[in-house]
A and B are shown apart, each in its own frame.
Chain A
Amino acid sequence: MFMFEKAVVGSRRYWLWILGLFAVIGVGFLNYLRQLEVGLAITGLNRDVTWGLYIAQFTFLVGVAASAVMVVLPYYLHDWKVFSRVTILGEFLAISAVTMCMLFIFVDMGQPHRVMNVILHPTPHSIMFWDMVSLSGYLILNAVIALVTLSAERKGVAPPNWIKPVILLSIPWAISIHTVTAFLYNGLPGRSFWLTAILAPRFLASAFAAGPSLLILFCMLLRKLTWFDAGREPIRRLAVIVTYAMIVNVFFVLMEVFTVFYSGIPEHKLHFEYLFVGLDGHNSLVPWMWTSVILAVAALVLLIVPRWRRNDRILAVTCVIVFLSLWIDKGIGLIVGGFVPSPLGAITEYAPTLPEIAITLGVWAVGALIITVFYKITLSVRESLA
């Protein structure tokens, strides 16, 4: 198939990495087979916390997927030529992230073999239906754009004209996937933690910090491991994007904190209290949440001071910090925090089980494999041109 022959030639190190990923995927798959047999009872989920690690990863990764727009928009709309070498990396990151999103939804289903019911009985009043539409549309858009532009690059010609409107469409589409994902949560009458209009903007802000951070790390990694150098300028510009997005994200979180605590409405307050101080001695997420806060503050300082932001070594650390902070916030706190306390006031804690973690790592490994293969293809194409 399309340029995949380039993914099957590589160094020893490349193959060891691929093998390692397959091992993680294999372990995840075996655990998933067990989940198919036993049911979701093998997870740590319960009556009160009915969504956990899987759905939280899905939510976080929708953001990573949407963040591709942060390279696509400046490059195609504002003609930022410096992003010419990294735009496709963002698009492949989006493809990998959306694939992981779909897998996380799939592994979370109680009856996965009935998945086609969503298409057989399309239900426009369900946000989940629109999430399926927006995610699959986004996957197709990015796959088409990335493959068409890359094959044009290989042939040394300009991409065909018809791809321009497709690229332009992908920009609002990226915003839509994370907005619809926020709507999954903030349209539910009994779940006060999510019942906030700032959720979608907050999702987008955190996404535009976490995604480009990952992209910066990938550029640095490629520079270290391969001949490919994205250049200093794209990394610097991405760092500015991360800075603004992180500031906006923290600002949005503080707005939420003000609204919740100044109004003092218990239903809204209790979730924050559970996450940050614990309720009735139940406090397993408290250390995680404070870690996220401290990392966020540290990241802001390291990003805002220009000297530190422009230092590649420090920036690499900062990007890891941003990513971790937002992963804890969205990949753990946001989903579980919405379920504790329950609508009946019950405080039931949730912790993922080992099989659940193995399945989660397996899905992440699938994402890493997709990224690796596509980046390998991209680099091989460019190497043959150089």
Chain B
Amino acid sequence: MSMDRKSFLKITGCAVAGAIAGGKLGGLVAGAEDAEYLPAPGALTARRWGMVVDTRKCRKQEGCKDCIRACHQAHNVPQIPDKTREVKWIWKEKFEHAFPSQETEYPNEELHGRQVLLLCNHCDDPPCVRVCPTQATWKREADGIVMMDWHRCIGCRYCIAACPYGSRSFNWGDPRPYIPKVRADYPTRTKGVVEKCTFCEERLARGEMPACVEACPEKALVFGDLADPNSEVRRLLRTEYTLRRKPELGTRPEVFYIL
């Protein structure tokens, strides 16, 4: 890739800012912004967080929902009974729904109907970020996590239309009555905003692995730095055949699947 959209915008943006404010002031502002993103001591950091989901290990425990429960409890995700209006950060879907283009009319017994764990792909080129009119969702420079600001989101749902993976949920009503036990150390959301998985950025900041990764009894979820050639995720990508969801769309998901 020569110059992607972001670097183009950055360059033009800098040029405009420079023209208006002059080099010195622009430099000061940029410096101040960088400082806000310095990780806390003890935080887990990476240049590019990513995940490998080993569905072979995952299916050893049939019907296991430990990761889903851990995530939804950790993040005050409401348990809405109406399936057409539910909110979910991580969930299981049949193989043929997760990978529609892989399905043939001669189904493979191993794969057909296999439950595959889905979550936000934290795409390298996320369409949701591209369309958001308020930058309430953005890709974090430092580690590539696609973040969400629930206090800025205007609830236009453009990001939901843009996400090709169904990874985003909207709060059609007040979610709070549907949270079984509200955790005080994580915010609840209000009606009218979009939410999704954030790769547990709040746990990473405390030096903890994502809740789903920690909860998995089979260690089927491997989380690590895709920019580090010696990381466990990179080792798996080197040695195993992996798939990304809808690679043809050019979003470059950072969640990989071993089937």
Which B residues, 128 to 174, have Cβ-Cβ distances below 8 Å to chain A? 130-136, 152-158, 160-166, 169-174
Known: A47-B85, A344-B100. A126 touches B164 (CB 8 A): no
Q: Given the complex, which residues of A lie within 8 Å of B132, measured CB to CB?
A: 123, 126
Question: Is A354 engaged at the interface, CB distance under 8 Å to the other chain?
Answer: no
Question: Is A228 engaged at the interface, CB distance under 8 Å to the other chain?
Answer: no
* CB-based contact B161/A125 at 8 Å: no
Known: A110-B171, A121-B135, A344-B166. A126 touches B191 (CB 8 A): no
Which A residues, 185 to 220, have Cβ-Cβ distances below 8 Å to chain B? 185, 187-191
Which of B85, B97, B133, B250 is close to A345, meaning CB atoms less than 8 Å apart? Answer: B97
* CB-based contact B127/A188 at 8 Å: yes
Q: How many residues of B sit at the interface, in one of the four size bands? A: 35 or more
Which A residues, 102 to 126, have Cβ-Cβ distances below 8 Å to chain B? 105, 108-112, 114-115, 117-118, 120-121, 123-126
* CB-based contact B161/A191 at 8 Å: yes
* CB-based contact A190/B97 at 8 Å: no
* CB-based contact A190/B249 at 8 Å: yes
Which A residues, 33 to 70, have Cβ-Cβ distances below 8 Å to chain B? 38-41, 45-48, 50-51
Tell me, in angstroms, the Cα distance from A55 to B5 when the chains sit together.
28
Residue-by-residue, is B98-136 near A (CB-CB < 8 Å gives 1, otherwise 0)? Answer: 101000000000000000000000000001001111111
Looking across the interface, which residue of chain A has its beta carbon closest to that of B152?
Answer: A117
Closest approach, in angstroms, between the C-beta of A201 and any C-beta of chain B? 21
Tell me, in angstroms, the Cα distance from A222 to B156 when the chains sit together.
38
Q: How many A-B residue pairs have CB under 8 A?
A: 143
Q: Given the complex, which residues of B lie within 8 Å of A184, measured CB to CB?
A: 158
Known: A110-B171, A125-B9, A190-B127. A50 touches B160 (CB 8 A): yes
Closest approach, in angstroms, between the C-beta of B195 and any C-beta of chain A? 11
Question: Is A343 engaged at the interface, CB distance under 8 Å to the other chain?
Answer: yes
Question: Is B193 engaged at the interface, CB distance under 8 Å to the other chain?
Answer: yes
Contact residues of B: prevailing secondary structure: loop
Question: Is A284 engaged at the interface, CB distance under 8 Å to the other chain?
Answer: no
Q: Given the complex, which residues of B lie within 8 Å of A185, measured CB to CB?
A: 161
* CB-based contact B152/A121 at 8 Å: yes
* CB-based contact B133/A129 at 8 Å: yes
Q: Given the complex, which residues of A lie within 8 Å of B135, measured CB to CB?
A: 121, 123
Q: Given the complex, which residues of B lie within 8 Å of A126, measured CB to CB?
A: 130-133, 158
Tell me, in angstroms, the Cα distance from A128 to B251 when the chains sit together.
20
Tell me, in angstroms, the Cα distance from A41 to B93 when the chains sit together.
25
Q: Given the complex, which residues of A lie within 8 Å of B246, measured CB to CB?
A: 190, 343
Which A residues, 87 to 110, have Cβ-Cβ distances below 8 Å to chain B? 105, 108-110
Tell me, in angstroms, the Cα distance from A344 to B100 when the chains sit together.
7
Residue-by-residue, is B2-31 near A (CB-CB < 8 Å gives 1, otherwise 0)? Answer: 000100010000000000000000000000
* CB-based contact B166/A343 at 8 Å: yes
* CB-based contact B97/A188 at 8 Å: no
Looking across the interface, which residue of chain A has its beta carbon closest to that of B118?
Answer: A344
Which of B98, B169, B194, B251 is close to A189, meaning CB atoms less than 8 Å apart? Answer: B251
Closest approach, in angstroms, between the C-beta of A44 and any C-beta of chain B? 10
Q: Given the complex, which residues of A lie within 8 Å of B153, measured CB to CB?
A: 110-111, 114
Closest approach, in angstroms, between the C-beta of B160 and any C-beta of chain A? 5
Residue-by-residue, is B222-259 near A (CB-CB < 8 Å gives 1, otherwise 0)? Answer: 00000000000000000000000010011100000000
Closest approach, in angstroms, between the C-beta of A107 and any C-beta of chain B? 11
Tell me, in angstroms, the Cα distance from A128 to B165 when the chains sit together.
21
Known: A39-B173, A111-B192, A190-B162. A344 touches B93 (CB 8 A): yes
Residues of chain B at the chain A interface (Cβ within 8 Å): 5, 9, 84-86, 93, 96-98, 100, 127, 130-136, 152-158, 160-166, 169-174, 190-194, 246, 249-251
Q: List 12 interface pairs A-B (beta carbons < 8 Å), by A numbering.
A: A38-B173, A41-B191, A47-B85, A48-B84, A50-B161, A110-B155, A110-B171, A115-B154, A118-B134, A188-B131, A189-B164, A345-B96
Query: Nearest 8 pairs between A and B by C-beta?
Result: A110-B155, A190-B164, A110-B192, A39-B191, A41-B173, A128-B133, A46-B84, A41-B172
Residues of chain A at the chain B interface (Cβ within 8 Å): 38-41, 45-48, 50-51, 105, 108-112, 114-115, 117-118, 120-121, 123-129, 132, 184-185, 187-191, 267, 338-339, 342-346, 348
If A41-B172, A109-B155 are given as contacts, then 13 extra A-B residue pairs at C-beta distance below 8 Å, sorted by A number, are A39-B174, A47-B169, A50-B161, A108-B157, A109-B192, A117-B134, A123-B133, A124-B9, A126-B132, A190-B163, A190-B246, A343-B246, A344-B165
